[in-house]
């Protein structure tokens, strides 16, 4: 696959495998990518600046404080320029800095400033690799959505056998190219997603909420972003973080806040997916002070919240795709069909609380998809990440 037009930062830290990075740079350039390199001082003990400069056809960024070039805020402009960064070799030291937000050299500074996909190819002695501190740092980075290119098992520079040598340049290249290949699908498309629960305040300390974790919506947001979309995630209170840094998250608390935020972004959205478990009702009055216990019973009057999905269905144009969720406990398909029609949806994802492992508080989900043309598809119980892939895959048919 060609990487024509792609801007890749190649970051090098100080490991002997840096010599292999020269081949990676050649491969990237040969396949059409524009490459800029960033090297730590230690990396330049293993490869020269001249080699990096000659192969990448660009200056090497290695000094945050240099005054003889255009590097004044280079870490920001480089971050804006890049479509992705690959760090190879990534030593235990640079992985530790990445995981802990330390920015004391050009490479770790760029890493913090970059909100683009990052590939990391760890390289070190196998005992260092297996050290719990290193493993924990790697895990932290994986959880933050870094694409880890695991070291293969083999002979290490020190003569030991084990896991820790840098993956071959061809394999690293394939990972990056593969990422861009799948990431093209939704490029240029704007996606609006609601996720999580809403909290409806009763008084300054209490609220009406629900058990939604937000995981399903976050997975859908990540999957669209992985496929190149411009994603806005409007999320109720949820501790689940996106893995893809491209997702723009707007945190909200109540249904009304979620509604106002969606109204702002809906008009320009190509595809909107409402996966949030929005509270249908909210206390009519929010008590200014904490409600004290007095009588044997307490009545709180509730007023209907705006139906966000219903409103968007009324506003939707021919070109826009609108997808809703339904969580039903009885008469699932009949209720779902009615919802699809009454809210003017293109597609409705149904999960039933009667299915084991589906719905709230599970890592898995079992869904059926109902379409405006009356077609229905049933899916097996899967991880929410895989369900998100199925959903995005079905939506692909709508827009192409
Ligand atoms: N939804 C919404 N705003 C609301 C309520 C629901 O946007 N105030 C959206 C949800 O995000 C979901 C869909 O509507 O995509 C279905 O929600 P659900 O609560 O199952 O259905 P309701 O339309 O609220 O109907 P009912 O509660 O009667 O089942």
Is the Cβ–Cβ distance between 272 and 320 less than 8 Å?
yes
Task: Give the pLDDT of residue 216.
Answer: 96
Phi, psi angle pair for 369, to nearest 5°: -120, 130
Q: Is the pLDDT of residue 68 over 60?
A: no
Inter-residue contact 231 to 221 (CB < 8 Å): yes
DSSP letters spanning 52-70: HHHHHTS-EE--TT--SSS
**Which pTM does this prediction carry?**
0.71
Distance, CA of 276 to CA of 258 (rounded, Å)? 9
Ligand 1 atom with least separation from CA of 312? 7
Q: What's the pLDDT at 275? A: 97
Residue 2: pLDDT band (50, 70, 90) is: confident
Cβ atoms of residues 352 and 326 within 8 Å: no
Per-residue pLDDT band for 400 (boundaries 50, 70, 90) equals low
Q: Look at residue 341 in the predicted model and tell me its pLDDT.
A: 96
281-283/271-274 β-pairing: unpaired
Hey, how many other C-beta atoms are within 10 angstroms of the C-beta on 148?
17
Choose among 30, 162, 173: nearest CA to 88: 173
Rounded CA separation 323/313 (Å): 9
158 flagged as catalytic: yes
Mean pLDDT of 24-37: 97
| CA-closest residue to ligand 1 atom 16 | 326
Q: Which of 315, 350, 308 is nearest to 330 (CA)?
A: 350
| Pairwise pLDDT comparison (169 vs 66), residue with the higher score | 169
Measured from the CB, is residue 145 less than 6 Å from ligand 1? Answer: no
More confident residue, 199 or 179: 199
Q: Quick one: pLDDT band at residue 342, thresholds 50, 70, 90?
A: very high
Dihedral sign computed on CA atoms, order 259, 284, 240, 277:
negative
Q: How far is the CA of 63 from the centre of ligand 1 (A)?
A: 54
| Rounded distance between C-alpha atoms, residue 146 and residue 138, angstroms | 9
Q: For 285-310, how does the pLDDT look when each residue is reduced to its tens digit (9 = 90+)?
A: 999 999 999 999 999 999 999 999 99
Tell the residue nearest (CA) to atom 12 of ligand 1. Answer: 325
Distance CA 143, CA 132 (A): 16
Among the residue ranges 36-40, 153-157, 201-205, 326-330, the one predicted with the least confidence is: 153-157
Helix (H) or strand (E) holding 302: strand 302-304
Q: Is the pLDDT of residue 157 over 60?
A: yes
Q: Distance (Å, rounded) from C-alpha 33 to C-alpha 254?
A: 45
Does the C-beta of 309 come closer than 6 Å to ligand 1? Answer: yes
Closest Cα to atom 4 of ligand 1: 307
Q: Who's near 155: CB < 8 A, 6+ residues apart?
A: 161, 165
Atom of ligand 1 nearest to the CA of 325: 15
> Is the pLDDT score of 16 beyond 60?
yes
Looking at residue 191, what is its pLDDT? 97
Least confident of 56-70, 329-343, 357-371: 56-70
Note the pLDDT of residue 70: 52
Does any ligand 1 atom lie closer than 6 A to the CB of residue 212?
Answer: no
In ligand 1, which atom is closest to the CA atom of 276? 11
Give the Å distance between the CA of 359 and the centre of ligand 1. 14
pLDDT (tens digit per residue) in 40-67: 999 999 999 999 999 999 999 988 766 5
217 pocket-lining for ligand 1 (C-beta < 6 Å):
no
Q: Is the CB of 279 under 6 A from ligand 1?
A: no
- Rounded CA-CA distance 79/328 in Å is 45
Q: 287: which DSSP letter?
A: -
User: Is 397 exposed, middle or buried (CB count within 10 Å of its CB: 0-12, 13-18, 19+)?
Assistant: exposed
Range with the poorest average pLDDT among 139-148, 182-191, 195-204: 182-191
Q: Indicate the SS3 state at residue 373.
A: coil
Ligand 1 site, residue 355, Cβ cutoff 6 A = no
Tell me the average pLDDT across 206-220.
96
Nearest to 375 by CA among 398, 399, 343, 400: 398
347 lines ligand 1 (CB under 6 A): no
Q: For tokens 């009454």, what's the residue?
A: 342
Tens of pLDDT, residue by residue over 104-136, are 999 999 999 998 999 999 999 999 999 999 999
């Amino acid at each position: 696959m060609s990487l024509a037009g792609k801007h890749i930062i190649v970051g090098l830290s100080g490991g002997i495998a840096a010599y292999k990075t020269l081949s990676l740079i050649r491969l990237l350039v040969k396949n059409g990518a524009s490459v800029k390199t960033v090297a730590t001082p230690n990396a330049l003990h293993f490869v020269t600046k001249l080699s990096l400069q000659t192969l990448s056809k660009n200056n090497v960024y290695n000094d945050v404080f240099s005054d003889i070039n255009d590097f004044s805020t280079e870490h920001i402009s480089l971050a804006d320029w890049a479509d992705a960064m690959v760090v190879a070799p990534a030593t235990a030291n640079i992985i530790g800095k990445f995981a802990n937000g330390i920015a004391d050299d050009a490479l770790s500074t760029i890493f913090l400033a970059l909100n683009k996909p990052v590939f990391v190819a760890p390289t070190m002695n196998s005992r260092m690799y297996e050290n719990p501190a290193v493993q924990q740092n790697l895990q932290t980075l994986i959880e933050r959505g870094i694409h880890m290119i695991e070291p293969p098992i083999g002979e290490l520079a020190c003569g030991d056998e084990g896991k820790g040598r840098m993956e071959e340049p061809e394999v690293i290249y394939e990972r990056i190219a593969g990422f861009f290949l799948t990431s093209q699908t939704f490029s240029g498309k704007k996606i609006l997603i609601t996720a999580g629960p809403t909290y409806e305040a009763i008084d300054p300390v209490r609220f009406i909420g629900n058990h939604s974790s937000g995981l399903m919506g976050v997975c859908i947001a990540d999957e669209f972003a992985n496929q190149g979309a411009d994603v806005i995630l409007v999320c109720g209170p949820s501790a689940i973080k996106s893995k893809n840094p491209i997702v723009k998250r707007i945190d909200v608390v109540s249904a009304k806040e979620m509604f106002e935020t969606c109204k702002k972004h809906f008009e320009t959205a190509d595809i909107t997916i409402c996966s949030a478990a929005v509270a249908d009702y909210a206390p009519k009055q929010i008590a200014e002070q904490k409600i004290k216990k007095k009588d044997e019973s307490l009545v709180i009057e509730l007023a209907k919240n705006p139906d966000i999905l219903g409103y968007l269905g009324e506003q939707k144009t021919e070109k826009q795709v609108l997808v809703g969720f339904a969580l039903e406990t009885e008469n699932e398909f009949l209720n779902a069909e009615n919802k699809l029609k009454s809210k003017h949806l293109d597609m409705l994802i149904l999960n039933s609380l009667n299915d084991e492992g589906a719905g709230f508080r599970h890592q898995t989900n079992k869904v059926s998809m109902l379409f405006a043309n009356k077609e229905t598809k049933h899916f097996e119980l899967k991880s929410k990440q895989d369900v998100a892939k199925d959903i995005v895959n079905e939506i692909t048919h709508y827009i192409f």
